[in-house]
């Protein structure tokens, strides 16, 4: 009976994971989907504690298990509740890294429990260790880079060193499986060291607008490592969850690479961002045209259509709510307002969508890039709030630019472009933005939240 109830809880958990993932595909049902999947996981955990037995013996150390779960729940809840939206990518990287660490620890425990296991079993153990360790160390570095605690480090030799290091990991795994006595028990720690080192060096040279892709890729690694844990324990709920996370992360990574018009291999070894420089130098005699808040308000109030392009600067300024107020004020004056969303805007997949949803911006108003670009020539005013690389014309007209070929929002096709920025500082990819000098562009310098607040106030006076 206990085994039946255990398998029933696992079946329920697996089904909720699938249903939850399906609901996560739509902003309207994403919150519910997250809760459904979490409920399924809770049922699976309770079922394991109550009904799992090994050779007729129930699980022991229940107080320790419950204590660990309690501590983890409290810490995770506090981190999630206190995190600012600007730090959400860092938190995602941190949590993902913890998942990778758990998968690696499972492999370490299983190797010591079954050192003389079949070659297939040992192969799964080592693969779980390698992928979990790479995900852990890579996610920690990604966290540090997103939080600006770790600087980009790029060198030509590092690409070749990483390839050799990866080859060495495969060779060690092969030897350990085919000739386990050759390396003995030390193989586990050799692989752990090599994998952690590879995870660090793999992420170190990657920067700029590629960070959302890296986060998605590392997330898929953690899912794959968890799936290997499911194989080791013959646990269907771990296997299902791992496969779903791994496959979803991989698909998202591929879609984001497609949105950037780049291959995954190019992202990994291309060292995009940071110190990269364009071959096309912007002439020093080009001038930037500024615009006042009053003139901006008049221009927007008498427009037929206004498109707002959010970027990471919007998150930094915590200006999503006042941006929604601007949208409502414009609509009161009969202006059509939409938000043009670039797939890699911000520093994690869907960052801008999450920000705007938090401010209660209606989902239909969030228009994806492929739908927004054809509407640009019919737009009277585009307001760029804190975005940079995703609206840079160099992606289309400068073959020497590191972002050349990356699809961008063609805001320069609108009748008027207003860019809200604190300064002329380059974006996350570290390159100059030609849009700032475009004949249709006017700069509104200042903190995004402050400027949007003044803009809303001016709207009320018109």
Instruction: Supply the residues annotated as catalytic.
Output: 389
Which backbone phi and psi does 243 adopt, to 5 degrees?
A: -65, -40
Closest CA to 84 of 3, 146, 168, 159: 146
Helix (H) or strand (E) holding 246: helix 236-259
Instruction: Decide: residue 66, CB within 10 A, 0-12 exposed, 13-18 middle, 19+ buried.
Output: exposed
Nearest alpha-carbon partner for 261 in 209, 311, 221: 209
Whole-angstrom distance, CA of residue 413 vs CA of residue 376: 6
**Residue 15: strand, helix, or coil:** helix
- Per the CB < 8 A criterion, the answer to whether 452 and 326 are in contact is yes
Rounded CA gap, 307 and 338, in Å? 5
Q: Where are the beta strands (DSSP E) in 205-245?
A: none
For 76-135, the DSSP string reads: HHHHHHH--GGGHHHHHHHHHHHHHHHHHHHHHHHHHH-TT--HHHHHHHHHHHHHHHHH
CB neighbourhood size of 182 (10 A)? 9
Residues 6 or more apart whose Cβ sits within 8 Å of residue 16: 36, 37, 39, 40, 41, 43
Q: String of b and e for 347-366 (b: at least 16 CB within 10 Å)?
A: bbbbbbbbbbbebebeeebb
The token pair at 456 is 């809303």
């Amino acid at each position: 009976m206990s085994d039946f109830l255990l398998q029933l809880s696992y079946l329920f958990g697996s089904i909720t994971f699938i249903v939850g993932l399906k609901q996560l595909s739509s902003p309207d049902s994403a919150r519910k989907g997250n809760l459904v999947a979490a409920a399924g996981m809770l049922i699976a955990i309770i079922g394991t504690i109550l009904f799992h037995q090994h050779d007729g013996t129930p699980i022991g150390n229940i107080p320790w298990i419950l204590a660990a779960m309690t501590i983890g729940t409290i810490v995770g809840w506090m981190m999630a509740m206190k995190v600012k939206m600007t730090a959400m990518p860092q938190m995602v990287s941190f949590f993902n890294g913890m998942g990778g660490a758990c998968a690696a620890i499972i492999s370490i425990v299983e190797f010591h429990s079954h050192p003389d296991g079949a070659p297939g079993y040992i192969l799964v153990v080592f693969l779980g260790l390698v992928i979990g360790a790479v995900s852990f160390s890579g996610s920690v570095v990604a966290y540090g880079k997103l939080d600006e605690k770790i600087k980009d480090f790029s060198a030509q030799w590092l690409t070749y060193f990483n390839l050799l290091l990866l080859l060495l990991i495969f060779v060690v795994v092969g030897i350990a499986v085919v000739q386990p006595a050759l390396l003995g028990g030390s193989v586990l720690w050799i692989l752990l060291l090599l994998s952690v080192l590879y995870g660090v060096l793999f992420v170190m040279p990657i920067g700029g607008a590629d960070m959302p892709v890296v986060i998605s890729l590392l997330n898929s690694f953690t899912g794959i490592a968890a799936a290997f844990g499911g194989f080791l324990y013959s646990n269907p709920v771990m296997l299902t969850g791992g496969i779903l996370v791994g496959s979803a992360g991989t698909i998202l990574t591929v879609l984001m690479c497609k949105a950037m018009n780049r291959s995954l291999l190019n992202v990994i070894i291309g060292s995009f961002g940071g110190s990269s420089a364009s071959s096309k130098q912007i002439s020093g005699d080009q001038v930037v045209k500024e615009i006042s808040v009053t003139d901006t308000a008049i221009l927007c109030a008498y427009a037929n259509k206004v498109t707002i392009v959010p970027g990471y600067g919007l998150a930094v300024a915590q200006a999503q709510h006042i941006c929604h107020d601007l949208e409502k004020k414009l609509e009161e004056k009969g202006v059509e307002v939409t938000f043009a969303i670039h797939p890699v805007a911000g520093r994690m997949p869907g960052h801008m969508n999450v920000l705007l949803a938090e401010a209660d911006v209606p989902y239909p108003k969030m228009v994806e890039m492929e739908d927004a670009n054809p509407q640009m020539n019919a737009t009277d005013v585009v307001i760029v709030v804190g975005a940079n690389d995703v609206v840079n014309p160099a992606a289309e007209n400068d073959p020497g630019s590191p972002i050349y070929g990356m699809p961008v929002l063609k805001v320069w096709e609108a009748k008027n472009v207003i860019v809200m920025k604190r300064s002329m500082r380059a974006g996350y990819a570290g390159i100059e933005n030609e849009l700032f000098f475009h004949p249709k562009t006017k700069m509104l310098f200042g903190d995004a939240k402050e400027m949007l607040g003044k803009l809303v106030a001016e709207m009320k006076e018109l």
